[in-house]
Amino acid sequence: MNRGDRVATMAWNTLRHMELYFAISSAGGVLHTVNLRLHPVDTIFIMNHAEDAFFFVDDALVPMVEAFPTSD
């Protein structure tokens, strides 16, 4: 990760997510919390617009992410 990289997180409010808050900012990254209640198309648009370099997702939310639309 380079300084200033945007890092998206999609997670519930857990200790693991709180650790990401500190780890990402301590490493010089910019935390981008993704609203998991948005429509998948809107979520993809926002993440692309933000130019997120990394994406952390909670295990419980993987099925939601797998249903995201992909472009060819």
> pLDDT (tens digit, 9 = 90+) per residue, 28-63?
999 999 998 999 999 999 999 999 999 999 999 999
In the predicted structure, residue 72 carries a pLDDT above the cut 60? no
Give the mean pLDDT of the chain: 92
Q: At residue 9, does pLDDT exceed 80?
A: yes
pLDDT band at 11 (very low <50, low <70, confident <90, very high): very high
C-alpha 13/C-alpha 18 separation (Å) is: 7
Q: Classify residue 67 as left (phi > 0), alpha (psi -120 to 50) or beta.
A: alpha
